[in-house]
A and B are shown apart, each in its own frame.
Chain A
Amino acid sequence: MNKTANHAQRVSVQFNRGLPAYVALTLYVLITSALLLSNTRTSLLTDIIFVLFLMGMLAIYRARVAGGYKLVLAAVVLLGVLPYFGTRNAFYVELAIQAAIFVTLALGLNVVVGFAGLLDLGYVAFFAVGAYLWGILSTPQIAQIAPGASPVEPWMFYLFLAIGLLVGTIFGILLGFPVLRLRGDYLAIVTLGLGEVIRVLAVNLDRPVNITNGSQGIKDVARPPLPDVLRALMPGLGDAQIYQIFIYLMALAVLGLTVLVVYRLKNSRVGRAWEAIREDDVAAVAMGVPIVRMKLLAFAVGASFAGAMGVLFAAKQQFINPPTFDLLRSIGILAMVILGGMGSIPGAIFGGTLVTLLDLQILPRIAMELSALKRQGIGIPDWFDPAQYQRALFGLLLILMMIFRPAGILPDERRREELSEGEGVEIVETATSPQPEAASS
């Protein structure tokens, strides 16, 4: 592994720093942007270009160029090209919005699982709480709970983003407090149970008092009023399209804020305390880390982002019902964190984007192309309909990823070093185990 890395380093050294890096990066971004803007129809080609285009973000992150230049390029990509492209093709912006939503969730879960080492299998519960908070209060559903009450004004949405944050935090503390005595797998199963409890409550709380409207879901969830600035910036576009860009920008803003907070936390005393807990909680206590408070903080921080994103999700979706918040969703978010690399912020961003794109764009596209091949009578037998087996493909991908890159795609630097140590130990162990076989027989 080291050999290939060195080789790679030698080959790409001319692109990786100095002027060539600037030129290569700029060219990459320009070319992919130009290609994207000239292919506005949804097709295989556009899909490929879109993925390459998003990979530009990875290139920007990885390249050794000045931080300021990175920021400028990222802003051009995320705030310029992508929204502009979104006015041409609504699908890809939808992908970007959902990616932003799930990346935020992955970042939040990363705080709990990656930073503090607490396995949480019911994370989607906090997301549900935020979504139902706005869903109930912004629709006539509120009158079912408190007769005579009227829904809050749509502009209060911004306030509710903050309230969602707060409610998420409170829920995080409430749920976290009793379970933090537990360790490892017990914590996992309890959080799993709590996640299911929230979902089943969402399904069942349509009686005796109709709070969540049960399995029917809540429709016509309010959206914040469209700012006139955006209308002025995008003349000639319909409200529906401007709305999408607007929601994209808001999701990006929440995501940006999350990244900032998580990044600062990670490199703060709190972050180091979490790391100490993750590595060895007994030793952490001995060193004077307030372990319960720190664990609670991790739970609360993780939950708060999910709560805020829930509010935004409800507004974006305009319809919420319980199936969105099932266990598979929690597992999906966990998969994002682990695929990306536990404890790694870029990893969570990458993992979240990757899984969302796989789910909504890449796998359906593969299925569609296979179907097209099938129609031409090539290779695929009649009984196999690729569109039905996307999930199996996702499962296969998870297995292969874990086997060939268990540390994640963009592992945390410090973690990676620890892991490579761990591998060494394991090699010794497996090497010794077959030998004493003779003795036992």
Chain B
Amino acid sequence: MKKQPIFFRFAVGAALAAVLAACAQPTPTSAPQQPAEPTPTTAPAEPTPTAAPAEPTQTPAASKGKIKIATQSPLSGGQAALGVGIRNGAELGLIDMGKALEEMGFEVELAPFDDQAKPEVGAANAKNIASDPDILCVVGHLNSGVALASLPTYRDVSLAMVSPANTNPKITESGYPNAFRVVGRDDVQGAVGEEFARTEMGIKSVYIIHDKTDYGQGVAEFFRQQAEKNGIKVLGFEGTEEKANFESILTPILAANPDLIYFGGIYDQAAPFFKQARERGITAKFLGPDGLDSPELLKLAGDAVKGMYYTSVAAPVSQFPDAAKFAEDYKAKFNEDAPPFSAQAYDAMGVCIRAIKTAADKNGGNKPTREQVVQAIREGGEYKGIAGTYKFNAKGDPEKAVYFVLQVSEEDGDPAEVWNKNKVVKKLEIPAP
């Protein structure tokens, strides 16, 4: 059989298609002339009507151009529940607060990206984001590993990244001028949890479990360091990727008989763990970080988690009534309870939008540059969001983060409502280290 020339024919056809596409382009002459900028960050001071041809140009004549805000989080795979929460929270934020920009004559759009919880995908997406000059701010990521792989690219084009979930200290300790977060830090949160366990719960011994992710293990490590320093006996420190079958981990715990089990991880893994622990007859108290802050924990684990404690940086509904409205809106729009970090994503979006607006005002009502947006976030002063109040320090951390210790309500009823009744046991205002 001879070589099939079908590919070649296809290639020729494709070339023709390309030529046709080029002819169909609205203004093929205006774009090519101004290429030589190193990075197209400063380009679009004037309106740029040459958008993708698939979108009909139905924009009002007064439009000053398009502003996009990107999100990056895992939208597929095992961590999708949290990643989609970030994307959805940001979308709600854009719907609620994007009007400020629309009133100035901009078109506002969300550009969600799926980083698949993989650093190399995040890095490629970051390049994609960086090469779209309409994107002025990024809300992301979920995994600090992915954030660390993407941050160099954001830095190279001075694009602001406001993280709704990365509690890893490295994010802001690595000297990126464009990295911000609206959450606390693992090193502080672990210490807060330990102090509470030691002083208020009277814990003498602890068994630490984590989920082998940078988040869960990170916060668990800090908890352990503090515990060892302050004389709590650490009976075990185990990590597991198992999501459902915890017997083999629970048996040694049963034998060790700790006062407290600290779970560094996310609610979806924690819920079956706690449930099975209680079924096993383990009577230790439970404590965990803000990854547990979801009504889903209560929904999935039921009675096992009633009365347990968790630490969080997100303010509970009782202190920030807006959060209740957010939870309702979220449920109404996306047909599920708002997962952890989605309210923070809403706030991260708010930080982005306010900064863009400030920068645009300064820029005479025109579209600001990315540098101007970063500067506006940095100098923006206090921002009051639905989950907290943020003012960024030089590193990009909230200057003073409020850490809460909460107790899961013992009431019965719809988990989503019961969760809102969780009691604040302790409130600590701690400046970022």
Q: Mark B48-77, 1 if CB is under 8 A from A, else 0.
A: 001111111000000000000000000111
- Set of chain A residues within 8 Å of B55, measured between Cβ atoms: 372, 376
- B12 close to A12 (CB less than 8 A): yes
On chain A, the residues within 8 Å of B19 by CB distance are: 31
A-B contact pairs, 8 of them (CB 8 A): A5-B1, A55-B11, A90-B127, A90-B130, A236-B36, A237-B38, A317-B123, A361-B128
In the complex, the chain B residue whose C-beta lies closest to that of A38 is: B32
Contacting residue for B131 out of A32, A58, A91, A317, CB 8 A: A91
* Other 19 A-B pairs with CB < 8 A, given A62-B7, A360-B128: A41-B132, A59-B11, A90-B131, A94-B128, A203-B239, A215-B212, A215-B218, A317-B120, A319-B148, A319-B149, A321-B214, A323-B143, A364-B128, A385-B75, A387-B112, A387-B113, A387-B114, A388-B84, A390-B75
In the assembled complex, the CB of B42 is this many whole angstroms from the nearest CB of chain A, namely 13
Q: Chain B contacts of A59 at CB under 8 A? A: 7-8, 11-12
Instruction: Find chain A residues with CB under 8 A from B335 CB.
Output: 383
**Given contact pairs A41-B131, A319-B119, A32 touches B18 in the complex (Cβ within 8 A):** yes
Say whether A275 faces chain B, with CB atoms less than 8 Å apart.
no
Flag if A44 contacts B130 (CB, 8 Å): no
| B5 with A40: CB separation less than 8 A | no
A89 contacts the other chain (Cβ, under 8 Å)?
yes
Does B18 contact A52, Cβ atoms closer than 8 Å? yes
In the assembled complex, B2 has its CB within 8 A of some CB on chain A: yes
- In whole angstroms, what is the CA distance A8 to B11 when docked? 13
The answer to whether A87 touches B119, judged by C-beta atoms less than 8 angstroms apart, is: no
Closest to A391 in B: B76
Q: Are B114 and A91 in contact (CB under 8 A)?
A: no
Q: Is the CB of A16 within 8 A of B217?
A: no
Quote the shortest CB–CB distance from A250 to chain B (angstroms): 16
A45:B25 contact, CB within 8 angstroms: yes
Residue of A nearest to B210 (CB): A215
Using known A-B contacts A9-B2, A11-B9, determine if residue A241 contacts B39 with beta carbons closer than 8 Å: yes
Which A residues from 205 to 237 make CB contacts under 8 A with B?
214-217, 219-220, 236-237
Residue A37 at the B interface, CB < 8 A? Answer: yes
Bound-complex Cα distance A204 to B8 (A)? 50
How far, in whole Å, are A37 and B132 apart by their CA atoms in the complex?
16
B residues in contact with A388, CB < 8 Å: 75-76, 80, 84, 114
Q: Which A residues are closer than 8 A to B by beta carbons?
A: 4-5, 8-9, 11-13, 15-16, 24, 27-28, 31-32, 35, 37-45, 48-49, 52, 55-56, 58-59, 62-63, 87-95, 98, 203-204, 214-217, 219-220, 236-238, 240-241, 313, 317-321, 323-324, 359-361, 364, 367-369, 371-373, 375-376, 383, 385, 387-391, 410, 416-417
Q: How far is A372 from B31 in the complex, measured between Cα atoms in Å?
A: 22
B35 within 8 A of A: yes
Known A41-B31, A324-B119, A360-B121: A9·B52 in contact at CB below 8 Å: no
B145: chain A residues within 8 A (beta carbon)? 215-217, 319, 321, 323
Query: How far does the alpha carbon of A15 sit from the alpha carbon of B9 in the complex, in Å?
Result: 8
Chain A residues with Cβ below 8 Å from B307 are: none
CB–CB B12/A317 < 8 A: no
Contact of A38 with B2 in the complex, beta carbons under 8 Å: no
Q: Which B-chain residue is minimally distant from A88 (CB atoms)?
A: B35
Tell me the minimal C-beta distance from A268 to chain B in angstroms: 23
The answer to whether A52 and B17 touch (CB under 8 A), given A42-B132, A318-B152, A360-B121, is yes
Contact status A90-B39, CB under 8 Å: yes
Please indicate which of the listed interface residues B15, B32, B51, B54 has the most CB atoms of chain A within 10 Å of its own CB: B15
A-chain residues with CB within 8 Å of residue B213 when the two chains form the complex: 215
Query: Once the chains bind, are A52 and B14 in contact (CB under 8 Å)?
Result: yes
Bound CA span A52–B14, Å: 7
Q: Indicate whether A58 sits within 8 Å of B12 (C-beta atoms), given known contacts A388-B80, A388-B84.
A: no
B91-141 with Cβ < 8 A to chain A: 109, 111-114, 117-121, 123-125, 127-128, 130-133
Q: Which residue of B lies closest to A239 (CB)?
A: B156
Nearest A residue to B53, CB-CB: A45
Number of A-B contacts (CB under 8 A): 224
Binary contact track B390-420/A, C-beta < 8 Å → 1, others 0 = 0000000000000000000000000000000
> Contact check: which of B40, B128, B217, B239 meets A216 at CB < 8 Å?
B217
| B6 on interface, CB distance cutoff 8 Å | yes
Q: Nearest Cβ in chain A — how far from B70, in angstroms?
A: 11
Give Cα A4–Cα B11 distance, bound, in whole angstroms: 17
Q: How far is the CB of A374 from chain B (nearest CB, A)?
A: 11
B133 closest partner in A (C-beta): A41
Q: Chain B residues near A313 (CB, 8 Å)? A: 120
> Contacts A41-B133, A387-B113; is A5 near B39 (CB within 8 Å)?
no
Q: Are A62 and B38 in contact (CB under 8 A)?
A: no
CB distance from B20 to the nearest CB of A (A): 11
With A238-B156, A375-B109 in contact, do A16 and B76 touch (Cβ < 8 Å)? no
Does B3 touch A at the CB level, under 8 Å?
Answer: yes
B32 to chain A: closest residue by CB:
A38
Q: What 9 A-B pairs come out closest when comparing CB atoms? A: A38-B32, A59-B11, A12-B9, A94-B127, A91-B131, A44-B52, A240-B156, A28-B15, A91-B127
User: Which of B50, B87, B123 counts the most A-chain CB atoms under 10 A from its CB?
Assistant: B123
Q: Is B21 an interface residue (CB 8 A)?
A: yes
Q: Is B174 at the interface (CB under 8 A from chain A)?
A: yes
Measured between beta carbons, the chain A residues less than 8 angstroms from B174 are: 219-220
Are A8's CB and B14's CB within 8 A? no
Rounded to whole angstroms, the CA-CA distance of A126 and B359 in the bound complex is: 48
B4 at the interface (CB under 8 A from A): yes
Among A38, A42, A55, A417, which residue has its beta carbon within 8 angstroms of that of B128?
A: A42
Contact B5 A31 (CB under 8 A): no
* B28 and A216 within 8 A (CB): no
The answer, yes or no, to whether B45 is at the interface (CB within 8 Å) is: no
Known: A321-B145, A417-B1. A216 touches B21 (CB 8 A): no
The residues of B that contact A93 with a CB separation of less than 8 Å are 127
Given A39-B31, A48-B18, A388-B75: A63 and B8 interface contact (C-beta under 8 Å): yes
Residue of B nearest to A36 (CB): B18
Point out the residues of chain B lying under 8 angstroms from A360, CB to CB: 121, 124-125, 128
Residues of B with C-beta under 8 A to A318: 149, 152
